[in-house]
Amino acid sequence: MNTYAFSLAGQNLVARPSGALHWPGEDLLCVSDLHLGKSARQARLNGAQLPPYDVQDTLARLEAEIHATAARQVLCLGDSFDDLAAFDALPQTALDWITRLQAGRRWYWIEGNHDPGPVALPGAHLARHAARGLTFRHIANPGEDGEISGHYHPKARLRGTARPCFLIDETRVILPAFGTYTGGLRCDDPVLSALMAPSARVVLTGRRALVLPLRQSRSGRAASSARR
């Protein structure tokens, strides 16, 4: 598996092709925007529109990443559930699956804009988490150094295919959405351009982590699209 290693605030991190971020020095795996229960929420609001397999697929990929990295800590960077009603509607099999993944691990649930309140699952429920010069929060805070966030679901289009991507510069990382049913915001959107330095890199997910300069994406050679 082709990963991309980099440093932030003096810490060595690894962007994985799955969209997960690995911090080997802390045995920590970070994922953002699982949006568990999105298909159920869509059915509740608009009638059944999406195949109801997102929870199983997202948890299976999360489990694979936990095992691949041997993570002893897992940090979910907000919007873990599509909303609190989606959490309440999760089948017992999904809750049991999450509980098995948590067993023997330190688990952090960071608050997101879709799930701002606590949920009835074990783990630490926090607005943000700070450790060794890094700050984990759901939505980027302009001017913060050593920040790791999510929320925007960045995507880039390469050779006609839109792929979730990391955005990385010298002061921050914005993670792609890990959930199965998530759209995205193009990586050259003005909101993201205002947050990222001109020297920022795009790391596309997929079969391997592919690194491009963000300026190349802005030039149209890796033009991006989709919506969150």
pLDDT digits (tens, 9 = 90+) for 93-143: 999 999 999 999 999 999 999 887 667 889 999 999 999 999 999 999 998
Taking CA atoms, 217 is separated from 38, 84, 159, 212, in Å, by 29, 36, 12, 8
Does residue 96 fall inside a structural domain?
yes
Coil, strand or helix: which one is 179? coil
Within a domain: residue 139? yes
Q: What average pLDDT does range 197-220 have in this prediction?
A: 83
Question: Alpha-carbon torsion 115, 77, 67, 124, what sign?
Answer: negative
Higher pLDDT, 189 or 181: 189
The whole-angstrom separation of Cα 131 and Cα 161 is 36
Residue with tokens 């970070």: 30
CA distances to 21, 147, 173 from 12, rounded to whole Å, are: 11, 14, 13
pLDDT score at 225:
32
Report pLDDT for 221: 40
Residue 228 has pLDDT above 50, yes or no: no
> What was the pLDDT predicted at 223?
35
Q: Residue 14's pLDDT is what?
A: 98
Residue 186 lies in a domain: yes
Q: Is residue 227 part of a domain?
A: no
The pair of structure tokens assigned to 206 is: 């997929």
| Domain-located, residue 168 | yes
Note whether 133 and 160 are within 8 A (CB): no
CA neighbor of 176 nearest in space, from 28, 16, 32:
32
Q: What is the pTM of this model?
A: 0.89
52-98 per-position pLDDT tens digit:
678 999 999 999 999 999 999 999 999 998 777 778 888 899 999 99
Instruction: Please indicate, yes or no, if residue 225 is contained in any of the structural domains.
Output: no
Containing structural domain, residue 132: 4-219
Q: How many domains in the chain?
A: 1
CATH code for the domain in which residue 172 is found:
3.60.21
For residue 224, being part of any structural domain is answered with no
- For the chain, give the percent of residues with pLDDT over 90: 69
- Give the pLDDT confidence of 176-185 residue by residue, as tens digits: 999 987 778 9
- The mean pLDDT value for 158-174 works out to 92
- Residue 90 is predicted with a pLDDT of 87
Is residue 140 situated within a structural domain? yes
Residue 219: the pLDDT is 43
Q: pLDDT value at position 83?
A: 75
* Mean pLDDT, residues 174-198: 92
